[in-house]
Amino acid sequence: MIPLTVIMLVCFFAVMIGVGMYTRKHATDVNGFVLGGRGVGPWLTAFAFGTSYFSAVIFVGYAGQFGWMFGLASTWAGLGNAFIGSLLAWNILGRRTRVMTQHIDAKTMPDFFGKRFHSTPLKVVASLIVFVFLIPYTASLYNGLSSLFGLVFDIPYWVVIAIMAVLTGIYVIFGGYMATAINDFIQGIIMLVGISAVILAVLSQNGGLLAATQKLSAVPAEGWTGGAFSSFFGPDPLFLLFVVILTSLGTWGLPQMVGKFYAIKSEKDIHKGTVISTVFAIIVAGGCYFLGGFGRLYASSDKIKWVVDAAGNKVKPMFDTIVPAMLSTLPSIIIAVVIVLVLSASMSTLSSLVLTSSSTLTLDVIKPASKKDMSEKKQVLIMRIFIVFFILVSAIIAVVKDANPGVTFIAQMMGVSWGGLAGAFLAPYLYGLYWKGVTKASTVVCFVWGTGLAITQFVISMAKIDVSGWGPFFSLMFKSSIHSGVFAMIGGLIIVPVVSAFTKKEDKASVDEIFSCYDKKHTVEVAAKERIDETK
């Protein structure tokens, strides 16, 4: 098994670095380094969107956790990711994002807020939110790698993290966005093949789909004599709904996801990208959660680690060990494919996050604060330095977390980062694309609301505060980071129009000028001409 896995990994790493070297010519200026010159085709963009969306956190962590909790009903989370997080996101945000961001020359989400609402402080605040909440999210990408690599290699976990971090850094630093897009396409194909092979292998091992489902239906759950984990909505439909909303709608407010629409070549390509991205999500996300739904069939496996109480009784499994336990008895070729699959998922998302973080901090904080004009070359250099910084910090956090299980604040911060980002950004970004009446004040209030709920949830989780006595509304809101994240997003969608109705409107002439970009149809020819004009 080891020689086969090593050969596959060496080939995989060689291709990733080769792509980074090949795409250096696209990363000589800011527009090329951050957005690929706004000339990336639908296939590359769609796969970049999907691979940034679905990391090893989903394959190993979420699939194991929610599959254990909901059984086959966890597949709804994958379908929600496909139809809400991908199909609707592309249809509702794609074209308007591409057209408006080019019109106002916004390269990042904070830059969009600054130019849409004519406020440099707003841009800086948004950038700091991205910085604070993306770091722990980036560190979480290494989760699950230890248990998976333990199936094949007897090497320290920090070595795995170091290899992944260094190789990702090399191709992102050299090739920028174009390198990540091409590698995301390659990694996406690996993910499609890998998840399909794993599902077929696990079902075959359990006698096929019908036999596996029958076994799962016999597993008891609290309040059920059987059938809970093979039922349509599972044993806890309300919590399942919260999971679907957070993991699906949340992508609409994440800068590393929305940023993919900035770079796509043209309006026409968005329609193609929508179809490709949705099909990719159905297979990868739907497949991951469907696979995780059979996790309880492996409850007796000695590969699953358990949290135990003071009396030594098993309380709940460590969710990151469930999927590796499912894979441990599969053929060596399947395990080798899974190792490459998980690395692909992790590296694609890591590259997207560090590129987003470095470009945001450079263009939206460092550059405005600089007293002198910064050349394109210097801006790209600073972004490359920050890429090294973000990868190094995320790797150190992951190693510290693994070496010190008692350091729970890292895990808790990871849990609230998604909800904090989406809660702060989703509503003002969505309304800002469609409605002229959105005000700067409403955006500020939404920033405070989203980050405030996330920080409150973090404190509650860290201090282990019992919220059951806070009343039905607040006890539900702060039941977990998933619940608070959903309330942050939904609350923002209400807050922005309400506050906008009572606060000072933006200058009508400037807002009309921004929205004038929608008065003409942007085609491939227009986009190509504009790129030529930019080089003159």
Beta-carbon count within 10 A of 52 CB: 25
Tens digits of residue pLDDT in 182-194: 888 988 898 898 8
Whether 271 is covered by a domain: the verdict is yes
Instruction: Name the residue with tokens 């997003």.
Output: 489
Instruction: Name the residue with tokens 């039922």.
Output: 231
Whether 520 is covered by a domain: the verdict is no
- Judge if 449 and 373 occupy the same domain: no
Beta-carbon count within 10 A of 150 CB: 16
Q: Read off the tokens for 328.
A: 């441990």
Report the number of distinct structural domains present in the chain. Answer: 2
- Judge if 360 and 419 occupy the same domain: no
pTM score above 0.85: yes
* 313 conformational bin, left if phi > 0, alpha if psi -120 to 50, beta if neither: beta
- Judge if 355 and 438 occupy the same domain: no
Of residues 413, 287, 294, the one with CA closest to residue 345: 287
- Judge if 17 and 107 occupy the same domain: yes
Q: What is the CA radius of gyration of the chain?
A: 23
Q: Read off the tokens for 21.
A: 């070297």
Whether 431 is covered by a domain: the verdict is yes
Give φ, ψ of 437 to 5 degrees: -85, 0
Instruction: Name the residue with tokens 């604070």.
Output: 132
Q: What does each C-alpha distance from 122 to 139, 262, 278, 455 come to in angstroms? A: 26, 20, 33, 20
| CB contact at 8 A, 480 and 445 | no
Distance of alpha carbon 355 from alpha carbon 359, whole angstroms = 6
- Judge if 12 and 44 occupy the same domain: yes
The count of C-alpha atoms lying within 13 angstroms of the C-alpha of 261, restricted to the half-sphere facing its C-beta, is 29
Q: Following DSSP, what letter does each residue of 285-324 receive, concatenated?
A: HHHHHHHHTTGGGGTT-TTS-EEE-TTS-EEEE-GGGHHH
Residue 529: what pLDDT? 45
| CB contact at 8 A, 135 and 361 | no
| CB contact at 8 A, 521 and 479 | no
Whether residue 528 has pLDDT greater than 60: no
- What domain range includes position 484? 404-505
Query: Residue 197 is which amino acid?
Result: A
Of residues 13, 331, 389, the one with CA closest to residue 197: 331
Distance of alpha carbon 86 from alpha carbon 246, whole angstroms = 13
Whether 168 is covered by a domain: the verdict is yes
- Judge if 430 and 373 occupy the same domain: no
Query: Residue 230 is which amino acid?
Result: S
Residue 405: what pLDDT? 64
* Higher per-residue confidence, 31 vs 372: 31
**Chain centre distance of CA 97:** 18
Residue 521: what pLDDT? 57
Whether 146 is covered by a domain: the verdict is yes
* Higher per-residue confidence, 277 vs 353: 277
Residue 500: what pLDDT? 96
pLDDT mean over 207-219: 92
Q: Read off the tokens for 344.
A: 């692909």
Secondary structure (3-state) at 224: strand
Residue 516: what pLDDT? 92
Tens digits of residue pLDDT in 238-270: 999 999 999 999 999 999 899 899 888 887 889
Tell me the CA end-to-end span of the chain in Å, nearest whole number. Answer: 55
Whether 97 is covered by a domain: the verdict is yes
Whether 9 is covered by a domain: the verdict is yes
| CB contact at 8 A, 412 and 157 | no
Of the residues 383, 403, 423, which one is the last residue of a structural domain? 403
- Judge if 314 and 449 occupy the same domain: no
Q: What is the DSSP-derived secondary structure letter of residue 141?
A: G
- Judge if 346 and 420 occupy the same domain: no
Whether 61 is covered by a domain: the verdict is yes
Tens digits of residue pLDDT in 427-469: 999 999 999 999 999 999 999 999 999 999 988 888 888 888 8
Of the residues 403, 421, 445, which one is the last residue of a structural domain? 403
Whether residue 228 has pLDDT greater than 90: no
Distance of alpha carbon 86 from alpha carbon 98, whole angstroms = 16
Per-residue confidence band for 346, with pLDDT thresholds at 50, 70 and 90: confident
Distance of alpha carbon 54 from alpha carbon 399, whole angstroms = 22
Beta-carbon count within 10 A of 326 CB: 27
- Judge if 393 and 429 occupy the same domain: no
| CB contact at 8 A, 379 and 362 | yes
Of residues 513, 485, 360, 493, the one with CA closest to residue 438: 493
Instruction: Name the residue with tokens 């709608």.
Output: 249
Residue 406: what pLDDT? 58
Distance of alpha carbon 243 from alpha carbon 66, whole angstroms = 9
Task: Provide the CATH number for the domain around residue 272.
Answer: 1.20.1730.10
Which residues have CB under 8 Å from 203's CB, separation 6+?
209, 212, 294
* Higher per-residue confidence, 400 vs 532: 400
- Judge if 383 and 417 occupy the same domain: no
What H or E segment, with its residue span, contains residue 192?
helix 157-205
- Judge if 50 and 6 occupy the same domain: yes
Distance of alpha carbon 13 from alpha carbon 167, whole angstroms = 7
Of the residues 403, 423, 444, which one is the last residue of a structural domain? 403
- Judge if 62 and 111 occupy the same domain: yes
Tens digits of residue pLDDT in 487-519: 999 999 999 999 999 999 999 999 999 999 888
Which residues have CB under 8 Å from 469's CB, separation 6+?
475
Q: Where are the beta strands (DSSP E) in 247-381?
A: 306-308, 314-317
* Higher per-residue confidence, 52 vs 153: 52
Of residues 146, 498, 508, 449, the one with CA closest to residue 320: 146
Residue 331: what pLDDT? 83
Which residues have CB under 8 Å from 16's CB, separation 6+?
167, 168, 170, 171, 183, 186, 347
Tens digits of residue pLDDT in 92-123: 999 999 999 999 999 999 999 999 999 999 99
Which residues have CB under 8 Å from 129's CB, separation 6+?
420, 421, 424, 425, 447, 451
Whether residue 526 has pLDDT greater than 60: no
Per-residue confidence band for 1, with pLDDT thresholds at 50, 70 and 90: low
Report the alpha-carbon angle 332-333-336, nearest 5: 85
